[in-house]
Structure 1
């Protein structure tokens, strides 16, 4: 089995949740919809219903909080209001993505990431991203007595079974993250259940899908 592996770096990153109310809250990693958007932005094409699987994992050096001046129109009083807003930001964010799908589609994504149509970005155009690696890699299932998860990761519900839960040293944090787009008007996504597991967490006596470089592939 082969998949496309890509690594990204951004000095600053933010993945705003749609449920932020008074302040801005962030996902710990980009949701699948953000990665899908990056792939199609790089290719200069629109998504036409293609389906593929994505593994998302990453790391950062620190989280810091910034303040921005937020301007919002008050419909009731019919005036523009200004207020300070706290924004959590990831510093020196690194992202690793594996994509499994149709061979021709993977080749298109590989070419797009090596020669992007426009400069790619994560979490808004104000945060550019550097593509540090793009390559096809072989993937295989391998049994491990003990495996240390090397990077913070989204682990899908289909992997996070009761058997996996028992083998995990620690607990994951459950998230519902947007994935493929269902409709433009109104804008709606499919929502996928994942568990966010931090790097260094141990998994014991489990068969895992890993790439040829020894990194796990969470699909």
Structure 2
């Protein structure tokens, strides 16, 4: 069967772990779903095309960086500590702890309520969020009538900062094996001449494509073991470890293992309740490790690169 082999380089990248929040941790290599998403985006596919993916590579260091985050609350809430009193005489907005208007001395006020964060219409999570002035702007003060309308129709948005973990100087070797082999040429062309600048991970994690090559992948009974460079890492399907198709080299007779991950690959939309759809993910158990030795029947391409296809 044929596969598209990619050699990629990224200056920095974050392949976010879904369970990390305050610190946006990253996987050491992109999950299968991230690679499949990049391929589908560059090919402009609107429906999922079944494919197998092999992910291997390395990075040279890690660093932390600050990022802007937008947090969305499904309920519109008041921040009662920031209420204001609007003077009914001159319209000046005073703080809540005042008996007379600072501008004209009048003693009758209208209470203005303040939302927690800024606000936008429900479902207001848009790409290119910076285009919308309401996001991250000043908090608005509302009278009773406007606050009632806002509570029924708007959601709260809070702009904040968080720390993200970045991999630096990332090198990747990917194999894409579409189930429908007639798509090989189409995918190869889309990757060789991308319709937009490709990214992998976050939208800003741009990719330099160093090689796109169609290769023949076969299951081969090895006459000699293939040993990867010790700095080279890969996601190894657990089945390949259990079948002893892949061995992990030890040091001084002590065997090594790796880090086990359960990675997302593809999903199906399932309906729950009225008009609500959720992604049901197909997940794969893999071992992330280095010092890898292929010892028996494994998939290899025409240049003797091991293919850890999932």
- Give TM-score, length-normalised by structure 1: 0.86
In 1: Cα distance, 2:66 partner to 2:307 partner: 36
In 2: Cα distance, 1:41 partner to 1:85 partner: 28
- 1:73-88 aligned within 5 A: 79-80=116-117, 84-88=161-165
Instruction: Give yes or no for contact 1:175–1:196 (8 Å, CA) kept in 2.
Output: yes
Residue equivalent to 1:168: 248
3-state secondary structure, aligned to 1:128: coil
Q: Which segments of 5 or more consecutive residues in structure 2 lack a partner in the other structure? A: 80-114, 118-157, 250-255, 271-276
Q: CA deviation at 1:113?
A: 0.3
Residue equivalent to 2:152: none
User: How many pairs are equivalent?
Assistant: 215
Q: Alpha carbons of 1:160 and 1:173: their partners in 2 closer, same or farther (altered >3 Å)?
A: same
Q: Which segments of 5 or more consecutive residues in structure 1 lack a partner in the other structure? A: none
Q: CA deviation at 1:83?
A: 5.4
Aligned partner (choices 183, 188, 194) of residue 116 of structure 1: 194
Deviations 1:138-160 (A, max 9, x none): 22314255432232101112212
In 2: Cα distance, 1:58 partner to 1:33 partner: 16
Q: Alpha carbons of 1:71 and 1:115: their partners in 2 closer, same or farther (altered >3 Å)?
A: closer
Q: CA deviation at 1:94?
A: 1.4
The answer to whether residue 57 in structure 2 is matched with residue 58 in structure 1 is yes
In 2: Cα distance, 1:38 partner to 1:104 partner: 19
Q: Alpha carbons of 1:103 and 1:87: their partners in 2 closer, same or farther (altered >3 Å)?
A: same
Deviations 1:83-114 (A, max 9, x none): 55221111111111112232212221101101
Residue equivalent to 1:9: 9
- Give TM-score, length-normalised by structure 2: 0.63
Instruction: Give yes or no for contact 2:294–2:306 (8 Å, CA) kept in 1.
Output: no
In 1: Cα distance, 2:279 partner to 2:294 partner: 41
